[in-house]
Amino acid sequence: MSLYRNLTWFLKGMKEYTRDGYDAASKSFIVEDLSVSHVGRSFMVTGANSGIGKETAAAIAKKGGTVHMVCRNKDKAEMARADIIRESGNTEVHIHILDLSETTQVWEFAETFQRQYPTLNVLINNAGCMINKREKNSIGLEKNFATNTLGVYILTQSLMPLLQKSRDPRVITVSSGGMLVQQLRAHNLQSKGGFYRGPKVYAQNKRQQVVLTEHWAKTQPVIHFSAMHPGWVDTPAVSSTMPQFRQMMGERLRSAAQGADTVVWLALSRGAPSTPSGSFFQDRKAVPTHLPMAWTNSSAKDVAKFLVKLETLAQEARPQPADPQPGSPTESSQALVIQHHI
């Protein structure tokens, strides 16, 4: 089954995920979709200093939006911010330093942000990693999972109250078509035991992001949720973690701007929220989340188990609030998981 899934996926990728795939798909794009001003709307982009995230942040800034760049490296973030301001002429571009692999810091950041800013219209969960050997964060959680899944979960859950009170709120998660080869593995979120393979762990995390997006869409009707695949894109992540793939693909890889196109469309177009919330996008179109006959669907029981485990890990890492208030993010996120089980 694994061979079938990988082969089917690779052949699909060679046709659709490349630069040629983008060129073919973009023939049906409607240019006017992005002719919208976003002055007064605010956007958070994680991993905005590089690749797809930086292109996305720049496209938003060009449309007048306020951009919150969430990055782990101050120097890289400042250089990217200067480029974005120069290209867009928009100075409403702010830097926030956060290492998303550090679970407790994600809580602290989200809570501080909510106190500081009155609105957040769009959250773009773009930062992601594929660490090829097992590493742990400071509280002992496997790092790919801590960054790609738990970090996204805590950031999104805790910013929900702010998103809910903002106009036309959207959450976009940059997943990957690589998730198509994985079935949700709720029993082993941190890939314990056995041989550790970075690409497999990464693809599993990306499947988890898609499952989360579907779950949020069912339980949070006020916010529009989407996950997406950017295609195979020539970015620092690809050259550092998959140098052989990059060499093999060469010019067939998409540019960062092409990879960012669907993120930008989901964030800025008027039409995106009229698509069903919880969908998975590729080149501005909702596409299936499973390959034909790949047996990657997950049972409701596995999804419920996954959500309970995530919430438990999230709460274990949560800094103790001085005085928890009714309706605080802890209370609302607990209620959300319980609601799902009922």
Ligand X SMILES: NC(=O)c1ccc[n+]([C@@H]2O[C@H](COP(=O)([O-])OP(=O)(O)OC[C@H]3O[C@@H](n4cnc5c(N)ncnc54)[C@H](OP(=O)(O)O)[C@@H]3O)[C@@H](O)[C@H]2O)c1
What residues line the site for ligand X (CB under 6 A)? 47, 49-53, 71-73, 76, 99-101, 126-129, 147, 174, 176, 229-230, 232-233, 235-238
The Cα–Cα gap between 109 and 184 comes to 28
Distance of closest approach, residue 3 Cβ to ligand X, in angstroms: 22
Rg (CA), the chain: 19
Distance of closest approach, residue 334 Cβ to ligand X, in angstroms: 26
DSSP H helical ranges for the chain = 2-16, 19-26, 51-62, 74-88, 103-116, 143-145, 152-164, 198-219, 236-241, 243-249, 256-268, 300-317, 329-341
Give the count of alpha carbons within 13 A of 174, CB side only: 28
**Measured CA distances, 91 to 58, 68, 218 (Å):** 11, 11, 37
Residue among 83 and 305 whose Cβ is closer to ligand X:
83
Distance of closest approach, residue 67 Cβ to ligand X, in angstroms: 14
Number of neighbours of residue 160 by Cβ within 10 angstroms: 25
Distance of closest approach, residue 322 Cβ to ligand X, in angstroms: 27
Q: Which of 314, 325, 341 has its CA nearest to residue 161? A: 325
Residue among 105 and 330 whose Cβ is closer to ligand X:
105
Question: Which of the following is catalytic: 17, 22, 153, 202?
Answer: 202
Residue among 22 and 337 whose Cβ is closer to ligand X:
22
For residue 4, indicate whether it is catalytic. no
Structure tokens at 157: 């859950």
Contact (CB, 8 A) for 19 and 179: no
Residue among 114 and 241 whose Cβ is closer to ligand X:
241
Residue among 132 and 332 whose Cβ is closer to ligand X:
132
Distance of closest approach, residue 271 Cβ to ligand X, in angstroms: 23
Q: Which of 162, 181, 173 has its CA nearest to residue 6? A: 181
Structure tokens at 74: 């101050």
Residues with catalytic function: 202
